[in-house]
């Protein structure tokens, strides 16, 4: 019996894109877990709280609620307060930060972002915050990403004006015998 190649392995009801998305999400969670484990292995006395942190713990801001949740789950048992920048239900692709958002980011101990243009409206602010001295961690930079083909790759597959879907060989709509059926 010959071994199967990767192209022959199929999972019913699961697309290849879905598997890739799950793999990327799993890799991101592993990267976040590794980040958390590295943070937990250090001396907790070296963690500096943000200037306005109420309980004396550093504030970590994450661009999205999803990343805030991931970071909070690996934040070493409450050693940091984790908050999202983009409000729940906000669109990360089109969110424009306010001056208050920028001030929060500049006073945070760390800002966590996805990267890869997910938070496109935050790019300039994230860059400025990083230049002001606040560390910004882009998760996309911590892993190898899977390149996706551009939308133009299938441009030649589109139907042309010469495609005539009304012509069916052996099927004539003008046939008098079938007039009752129409």
Cα end-to-end span (Å), the chain: 54
Burial of 142 (0-12, 13-18, 19+ CB in 10 A): middle
Tell me the C-alpha distance between 69 and 49, whole Å: 20
CB-based contact 62:68 (threshold 8 Å): yes
Contacts for 98 with CB less than 8 Å, ≥ 6 apart: none
pLDDT in tens, the chain (182 residues): 554 444 444 444 444 444 444 544 544 554 555 555 555 544 444 444 444 445 588 999 999 999 999 999 987 677 889 999 999 888 888 899 999 999 999 999 999 998 887 888 889 999 999 999 999 999 888 878 788 776 555 555 555 555 555 555 555 555 555 555 55
Element (H, E) at 113: strand 110-113
Q: What is the pTM for the complete model shown?
A: 0.52
Tell me the C-alpha distance between 139 and 91, whole Å: 19
Tell me the C-alpha distance between 34 and 125, whole Å: 27
Domains and CATH numbers, the chain: 60-144 (3.40.50.1980)
């Amino acid at each position: 019996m010959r071994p199967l190649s990767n192209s022959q392995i199929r999972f019913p009801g699961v697309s290849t894109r879905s598997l890739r998305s799950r793999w990327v999400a799993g890799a991101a969670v592993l990267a976040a877990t590794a980040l958390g484990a590295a943070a937990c292995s250090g001396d907790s006395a070296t963690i500096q709280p943000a200037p306005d942190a109420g309980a004396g713990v550093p504030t970590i801001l994450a661009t999205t609620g999803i990343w805030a949740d991931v970071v909070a789950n690996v934040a070493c048992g409450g050693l940091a307060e984790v908050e999202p920048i983009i409000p729940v239900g906000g669109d990360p692709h089109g969110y424009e930060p306010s001056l208050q958002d920028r001030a929060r980011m500049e006073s945070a101990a760390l800002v966590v972002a996805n990267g890869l243009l997910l938070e496109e409206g935050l790019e300039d602010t994230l860059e400025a915050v990083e230049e002001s001295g606040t560390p910004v961690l882009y998760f996309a930079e911590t892993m190898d990403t899977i390149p996706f083909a551009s939308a133009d790759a299938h441009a030649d597959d589109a139907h042309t004006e010469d495609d005539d879907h009304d012509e069916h060989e052996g099927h004539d709509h003008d046939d008098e015998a079938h007039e009752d059926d129409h």
